[in-house]
A = this chain, B = another copy of it.
Amino acid sequence: MARSFAKEQEADCPPPFETLDHGILHEFVGMYLRVAYEVAYEDFTKRLGAEALRPGYFTILTLIVLNPRISQTQIGMASERDKSSITIALRWMEDNGLITRHPSAQDRRTHMCVATPAGIEMQARMQAKSLAHLTALGNAIGPERRADFIQTLKDLIHEMRQADIP
């Protein structure tokens, strides 16, 4: 109601970019979350170089290194994804000598994932390189806001999952 639609329409060229009104969009966290994710993803891949794994694969490999014998379903839960989203990554890592998989003696449905020495090395190398990425992120966030920001993200995720929508 603040704007006169008919009057605005009289002009015959777009409005100047600097004067664009975003209105309520400034409150929409979702859009900023998406863009922030893309920016963080790009920084990670650029800093780690082409020979490194992508962020999602790094997450999986790290979970396997830190938790020998972890199962695919556990990896999915720990990284907040469905188990089917992980199949291809695990096979690729197995084919490339980063992990091995062994059926559990107690439940032959589950395959225990274990990092090979090459996998452990890769993870260590990537983790070392990723420190520059984390530093860049920390500086962009502001060192004093960093811990609270991460905690807020985690809270947002868990609170929103509980909230049942009418």
Contact = CB atoms under 8 A, between A and B. Distances in A.
A97 interface: no
A163 B136 contact: yes
Contact of A69 (B8, B31, B161): B8
A142 B163 contact: no
Contact of A30 (B22, B34, B40, B71): B40
A87 interface: no
Given A22-B78, A24-B127, A165-B47, A15 B152 contact: no
- Classify chain A: how many residues form its interface, as a range: 35 or more
Contacts of A3: 66, 68
B106 A153 contact: no
Given A29-B40, A36-B153, A74-B17, A66 B106 contact: no
Q: How many copies does the complex hold?
A: 2
Interface string A145-166: 1001110111111011101010
15 contacts: A12-B112, A13-B107, A13-B110, A14-B110, A15-B67, A17-B78, A20-B66, A20-B78, A21-B67, A22-B62, A31-B80, A35-B80, A40-B160, A139-B159, A145-B148
Interface of A: 3, 5, 8-9, 11-15, 17, 20-37, 39-41, 43-44, 46-47, 55, 59, 62-63, 66-71, 74, 77-80, 104-107, 110, 112, 114, 120, 127, 130, 134, 136-137, 139-142, 145, 148-150, 152-157, 159-161, 163, 165
Given A20-B70, A33-B36, 9 more contacts: A11-B69, A13-B105, A13-B110, A27-B150, A32-B157, A33-B40, A39-B156, A140-B159, A145-B152
